[in-house]
Structure 1
Amino acid sequence: MTTNDDAVDVSRSGFLGAPLDPASADRLAGAGLRYRSVPVDDPASFDPWVQVVARGFQDGERSAEQLAAIRERSAYRRVTGVYDGSAPDPDAPVATIASWIGELAVPGGVGIPSCAISAVTVAPTHRRRGIARAMLEGELRVAAASGAPAAMLTVSESTLYGRYGFASAASAAAWRIDVKRAAWTGPVPAGRVDFISRERLREHIPALHDSVRLGTPGEIDVPAGHWDTLAGTRPDAKDAGEVRAVQYADTSGTVRGLALYRVSENHDDHTKATVDVVYLLAADDDAYAALWRFFVELDLVGEVRARELSVDEPLWWMISDQRAATVTVSDHQYVRILDVPAALAARRYGAAGRLVLDVEDSLGFADGRFVLEVDADGSARATRTTDAAPDAISLSLGIRELAAVYLGGVSVVTLARAGLIAASDPVAAARMFGWHRTPRLSFWY
């Protein structure tokens, strides 16, 4: 597994300090609004921005302690707000967005720098004024200028981002397991599972995640603040004591798996508590089996729930009754290609071949014709061209469809049958873009 650290560092530093997009600033100024950067280290500017984000996601007002903790953990983010000088509180933005350059895992155990976007809100008092479009297009233009070949986000409203070229490239599965029916039939590893403190888990989880994340397309490097939120180790964490932590260590004593969970008591039947698996990280098959066995065999539990799992979890084949599990699949990790040759050349492919892609992009980042040549080992070269290339497989598609197939989680055949892709040989193209590891992202950002 490989990563291009130099490219990521250059993109991060250039992106974080880049000026605001002038086209978006002009568009918003025409609507009587001001588009400006928000310094994370300035409480007078940043704290109102945070409160507006919380309100936008229907959350409660942040306390002084929470605001201080958020400031401390937000230096990696590019923070932007849109302001209405005529509003009763002109210091509070009417729209927000945050972004940073993260590393997106793509097929082949490779990471590419990608613009991660979050905290997108527009006040209901200022909708339908083109504010969201100005912010998102502005971030994409800055990301492209900084050299990021892709952008990514997780979304609350799934219908909003297709217009900007994003598509769901890694779906997520939510599980509900009736453990009274689901006896464990999977392996029983020789290592051991033990309870640990949340602080110990927080200490070990970043390195363990970094050791395996590039093997799963769709995963990204996790900002430190996210681990503190998951583990409840932030000083402002609410109900942190309800979160419990366990680890799996192999026979040599090496920690190979970590998990966080909560228990909700059933006051009507004390043998049927509900367990919510907050996060489970397994570096190998033994850790995976041992941790899931721990949850399936917990005493006094009626149901185990987990979210942001893969759509093809091995767990499905490790319980005695598959009907004991209710699995719901939804969109999760969205991707947007900004530089087609760079993105296509970065990943590995499932089959050799030569492909000509005619890509349509209404925002202009990725319009054009491109040649993709894949060798027998799955490595690739991609270039822009104007040639017809009659000897190659032809593929005509929009930038959304390219994003959907990019991580290997959606088949070219599926989108061709849906009328979204025109291909001279969709089966051969599907073999090329296919990958043996289903894409997944294990958290929200």
Structure 2
Amino acid sequence: MTSRAGVDVRPITESEFADWQRAMNVGFLREPGLSEEILDARREQFTPGRSVGAFDGGRCVATFRSFAQELTVVGGATVPADAVTNVTVTATHRRRGLLTRMMERDLAAAKERGDVVATLIAAEYPIYGRYGFGPATSAAEWTIDVPRAGLDPRRAGPEDGGRVDLVDAGDVRKLGPELHERLRRTQPGVVSRDELWWRVTTGAVRFWPDFKEPYYVVYRSAAGEVEGMAAYTVDDEWTDAKQPLNTARVKWLTGVTPAAERALWLYLCSIDWVVRVKSGWRAPDDLLPHFLPDPRAAAVTTQADWLWVRILDVVRALEARTYEGAGSLVLEVADRAGAAAGRYRLEVSEDGTGVCESAAESADLSLDVAELAVLWLGDESAVRLAALGRVREERAGAVRQADALLRTSRRPWCPDVF
């Protein structure tokens, strides 16, 4: 066993990229080796200084990567984020503090760059709270029992004058980015997608040897404007009696209007031979079940935490979003790492804009920076967190006032995995 001091944690060089990728695959219990074609594709993600490895005797035993991202907050503004991904520690080197060393290095650099928050999708729940991250959004997956949904089998398409068309990958790369930007302007929790994201999701760049090209479908309004798009695959299952048992699996579905979402879901439920539709990860308050004549035909099969957020700059974070009404709160924020610790006064005007600054007066609420992240995007209730002992009310009525200011009418949602 090698001591903590004997393991070198540092940014990798381009020549170490293949070893780093192999270590990441081992950490995620994937086949270790990668073809040169896949390695060359993944090198497009390499940014000097943002891919970190832990090396023991020249062998990479832990991996960590971050990249620049924008996160949409309540009200439609965006903040710069440090997106954390590819985090692994090889089983031979667990409990050595390697993740802590990599995380502390990355968050310090993010703070120095001026990032407002850090983000990640947590594979395991217990890990990231100790670094100040909190689960700021949730996601749900529905399975639709198509025969039970009550849809008219004679239905031919949207009844609002719009139309649904199959398109190819090139159309998705052309039309998708602008559609996603429209979604980002309205949906808290959505993160930016760069040009590489669109090439990977459409197979122009192959990160995975088993990539299966999906079907792509677009919804255009009666005015001809693209308002929705989806990617899906379909399996090939039949009973011995030659009855279809096929499942359509949605990889992603973007709709910037309820009409677009309705048209795309009803299209997916109308495909011949498809008896089940798996929705992919959606917002927990998604409208999907209520587009069906029988909402019970859409059953939640998975629901869990999704986007985790770590606030690095409390003032900029609280001033970036809008609020549900006027009011004032003084927050005592604890942060073991020190990046966000302090006492802050949030003043919200009648138009829902907030001003935040350091405060000297007594706190209304005391909470950890991880709990502040949980409240910041509007998904969680301060009343609930107080009941769980995760927020302490210092002034009577403060938790209810926090809910009145912070909670949103629709829940935040992040449609991406990164």
Contact 1:99–1:116 under 8 Å retained in 2: yes
Q: Which moved more, 1:224-233 or 1:420-429?
A: 224-233
2:379 paired with 1:409: yes
SS at match of 1:369: strand
The residue that corresponds to 2:321 in the other structure is: 347
Q: Closer, same or farther in 2 for the Cα pair 1:209/1:77, shift >3 Å? A: farther
- Deviation of the 1:240 alpha carbon: 4.3
Contact 1:150–1:338 under 8 Å retained in 2: yes
202, 214, 224: which one aligns with 1:243: 214
SS at match of 2:185: helix
The residue that corresponds to 1:20 in the other structure is: none
2:83 paired with 1:110: no
Cα shift readout 1:164-211 (whole Å, capped 9, x = no counterpart) = 111110100111111110134997331111111122212221121012
The residue that corresponds to 2:196 in the other structure is: 225
The residue that corresponds to 2:117 in the other structure is: 150
Contact 1:103–1:113 under 8 Å retained in 2: yes
- Deviation of the 1:215 alpha carbon: 1.4
2:169 paired with 1:202: no
Q: Which moved more, 1:122-131 or 1:380-389?
A: 380-389
Match runs of 1:41-60 below 5 Å: 42=14, 44-60=15-31
Letter in 1 for 2:202: A
161, 177, 187: which one aligns with 1:190: 161
Q: Whole-Å Cα distance in 2 between the matches of residues 58 and 401 of structure 1?
A: 31
Cα shift readout 1:31-90 (whole Å, capped 9, x = no counterpart) = 211122124xx2x211211122122112222211001111124449811111112xxxx2
Paired positions, count: 406
Cα shift readout 1:278-331 (whole Å, capped 9, x = no counterpart) = 111112222111111101222211110022201111112111222222213100
The residue that corresponds to 1:322 in the other structure is: 295
- Deviation of the 1:376 alpha carbon: 0.7
SS at match of 1:401: helix
% same residue: 37
Q: Closer, same or farther in 2 for the Cα pair 1:147/1:70, shift >3 Å? A: same
Contact 1:77–1:99 under 8 Å retained in 2: no
The residue that corresponds to 1:439 in the other structure is: 412
Contact 1:245–1:261 under 8 Å retained in 2: yes
SS at match of 1:422: strand
Q: Whole-Å Cα distance in 1 between the matches of residues 391 and 208 of structure 2?
A: 47
Cα shift readout 1:234-285 (whole Å, capped 9, x = no counterpart) = 2465454541111111223222211100001113254220110011111222
Q: Whole-Å Cα distance in 2 between the matches of residues 76 and 349 of structure 1?
A: 38
2:109 paired with 1:139: no
Q: Closer, same or farther in 2 for the Cα pair 1:59/1:77, shift >3 Å? A: farther
2:332 paired with 1:365: no
Q: Closer, same or farther in 2 for the Cα pair 1:286/1:323, shift >3 Å? A: closer
| Unmatched segments (≥5 aa) in structure 1 | 1-27
Q: Closer, same or farther in 2 for the Cα pair 1:117/1:220, shift >3 Å? A: same
Q: Whole-Å Cα distance in 1 between the matches of residues 208 and 415 of structure 2?
A: 21
Q: Closer, same or farther in 2 for the Cα pair 1:399/1:235, shift >3 Å? A: closer
SS at match of 2:260: helix
2:51 paired with 1:67: no
CA RMSD in angstroms, aligned pairs only: 2.0
Letter in 2 for 1:410: E
2:372 paired with 1:399: no
TM-score by length of 1: 0.87
Contact 1:230–1:278 under 8 Å retained in 2: no
Contact 1:396–1:421 under 8 Å retained in 2: yes
Contact 2:289–2:296 under 8 Å retained in 1: no
Contact 2:230–2:264 under 8 Å retained in 1: yes
2:249 paired with 1:276: yes
- Deviation of the 1:384 alpha carbon: 1.1
The residue that corresponds to 2:130 in the other structure is: 163
2:349 paired with 1:382: no
Contact 1:247–1:255 under 8 Å retained in 2: yes
